[in-house]
């Protein structure tokens, strides 16, 4: 087994997320899974914190969480246009069983076509299938779906770079199906939410780019004129200033791209909002109007973070591993000064965990200074030291970052930290 293929982590910049991830025991990569991630327990804790935060935000915004298959028929990807655009970077395979042969013959589908599948590079067509599985009326719109979609893209090996560029990643895909007259407000609401989310993660500098129709695209110019006008009106309705990027839109519609600036002045494109009038036509999406006719909805594609893995890389480098308390995989380490206080340290951990904190115990015979240093290396900023006095008085000695230690009752310490520990 060759961990970190072709890379000596110790030779990387100290601020590189791969080096930070190794130091904090978050994840590793190896030759047996190029462009993929082995998440360790502490790394998975960070993934879950971020997903749960986004999940809560989306639920409050009216999105219903769904899950779609990782592999779908190649014919669906051809129908949507993704195969023509991205087929060279999609993992495809032939299934042994083609499914319902009678139904396939009725649709004039060949045996070879029935067996061809592809791993999804994004979740849009899958979300459309869920919308199409019901019959919605104009009163039901907007319909909002969100998913943490497991996506695969066959990126060139030379382009792979830690968590920044992967072949297997999780994308926070979301889609809104709405009437055309609802699109401006739906887009504006999502853009306002993005600002709040990025501020919570510590990114106050956010730039926006408006990407218009590319040279090679689906849909006619009239459709693109309408789509670009709606997206521009939505941006202007909330005073969003943007840089124009002619020709950089998706093949199915224009988009707004949100670019974050980290603590080192580097820019990272993360969130996107795309206005789509093409896929609803290609995949026969419709709702019932007031007079009983069928009408195509507008489809709005959203991503708050984009790739979760890439966003974690940005976070690790932005904070140099010293994540805010609410994001830290382990929020509090309870360190016993001697073995005699191990039971009290475990008791404190139990109390903290019952209150929702991510707390672990540092036991054993190592000196307290060593335990604190190890906690700091793992990105833990809060350490509760417990010795004989703390055990007798039912208190803890708390150090938080570079602040001087203070002795507090455990319950009071939890009250002090709650505001910073949870979002």
Q: In the predicted model, what is the mean pLDDT of residues 69-82?
A: 93
DSSP for 31-78, written as a single string: TTSTT--EE-HHHHHHHHHHHHHHHHHHHHTTPEE----SEEEHHHHH
Tell me the pLDDT tens digit for each residue of 78-123.
999 889 888 889 999 998 765 544 444 445 555 555 679 999 999 9
Provide the residue ranges of all domains of the chain, joining segments of one domain with +: 9-70+120-319, 332-421
Question: Which tokens belong to 270?
Answer: 């993360």
- Nearest in space to 335 (alpha carbons), one of 301, 297, 303, 378: 378
Is residue 319 within 8 A of residue 202, CB to CB? The reply is yes
Residue 62: count of CB within 10 angstroms of its CB: 13
What distance in Å separates the CA atoms of residue 106 and residue 282, rounded to the nearest whole number?
21
Paired tokens of 368: 């307290």
Per-residue pLDDT, 104: 47
Question: Where in the sequence numbering do the catalytic residues fall?
Answer: 124, 153, 171, 173, 175, 255, 301
User: What does the mean pLDDT of the chain come to?
Assistant: 92
User: pLDDT tens digit string along 220-245?
Assistant: 999 999 999 999 999 999 999 999 99
pLDDT value at position 301? 96
3-state secondary structure of 17: helix
Q: Judge whether 40 and 28 are in contact, CB under 8 Å.
A: yes
Residue 197 has pLDDT above 60, yes or no: yes
DSSP 63: P
Q: What is the pLDDT of residue 326?
A: 97
pTM of the prediction?
Answer: 0.92
Lowest-pLDDT range, 59-63, 109-113, 371-375, 403-407? Answer: 109-113
pLDDT tens-digit readout, 29-53: 999 999 999 999 999 999 999 999 9
Domain 9-70+120-319 matching CATH 3.30.930.10: the answer reads yes
What is d(CA 272, CA 301) in angstroms, rounded to the nearest whole number? 8
CATH architecture label of 332-421: 3-Layer(aba) Sandwich (3.40)
């Amino acid at each position: 087994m060759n961990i970190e293929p072709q890379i000596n982590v110790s030779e990387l910049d100290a601020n590189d997320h791969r080096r930070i991830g190794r130091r904090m025991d978050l994840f590793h990569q190896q030759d047996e899974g190029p462009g993929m991630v082995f998440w360790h327990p502490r790394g998975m804790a960070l993934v879950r914190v971020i997903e749960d935060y986004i999940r809560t935000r989306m639920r409050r915004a009216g999105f219903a969480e769904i899950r779609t298959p990782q592999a779908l028929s190649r014919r669906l990807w051809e129908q949507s246009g993704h195969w023509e655009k991205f087929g060279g970077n999609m993992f495809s395979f032939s299934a042994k069983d083609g499914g319902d042969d009678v139904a396939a013959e009725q649709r004039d589908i060949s045996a070879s076509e029935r067996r061809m599948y592809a791993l999804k590079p994004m979740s849009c067509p899958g979300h459309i299938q869920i919308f199409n599985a019901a019959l919605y009326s104009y009163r039901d719109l907007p319909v909002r779906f969100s998913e943490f979609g497991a996506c695969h893209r066959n990126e060139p090996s030379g382009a792979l770079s830690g968590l920044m560029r992967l072949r297997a990643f999780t994308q926070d895909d979301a889609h809104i199906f709405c009437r055309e007259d609802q699109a401006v407000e739906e887009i504006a609401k999502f853009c306002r939410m993005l600002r709040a989310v990025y501020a919570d993660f510590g990114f106050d500098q956010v730039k926006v780019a408006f990407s218009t129709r590319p040279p090679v695209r689906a849909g006619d110019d009239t459709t693109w004129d309408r789509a670009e006008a709606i997206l521009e009106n939505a941006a202007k309705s909330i005073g969003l200033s943007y840089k124009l990027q002619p020709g950089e839109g998706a093949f199915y519609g224009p988009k707004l791209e949100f670019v974050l600036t980290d603590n080192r002045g580097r820019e990272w494109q993360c969130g996107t909002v795309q206005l789509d009038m093409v896929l609803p036509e290609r995949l026969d999406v419709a709702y019932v109007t007031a007079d009983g006719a069928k009408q195509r909805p507008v489809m709005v594609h959203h991503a708050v973070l984009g790739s979760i893995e890439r966003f974690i890389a940005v976070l690790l480098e932005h904070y140099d591993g010293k994540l805010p308390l609410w994001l830290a995989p382990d929020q509090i380490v309870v360190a016993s000064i001697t073995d005699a206080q191990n039971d009290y340290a475990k008791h404190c951990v139990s109390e903290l965990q019952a209150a929702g904190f991510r707390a672990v115990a540092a036991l054993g015979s190592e000196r307290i200074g060593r335990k604190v240093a190890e906690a700091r290396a793992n990105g833990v900023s809060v350490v509760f030291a417990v010795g004989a006095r703390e055990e007798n008085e039912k208190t803890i000695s708390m150090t938080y970052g570079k602040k001087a230690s203070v002795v507090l009752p455990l319950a009071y310490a939890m009250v002090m930290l709650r505001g910073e520990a949870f979002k």
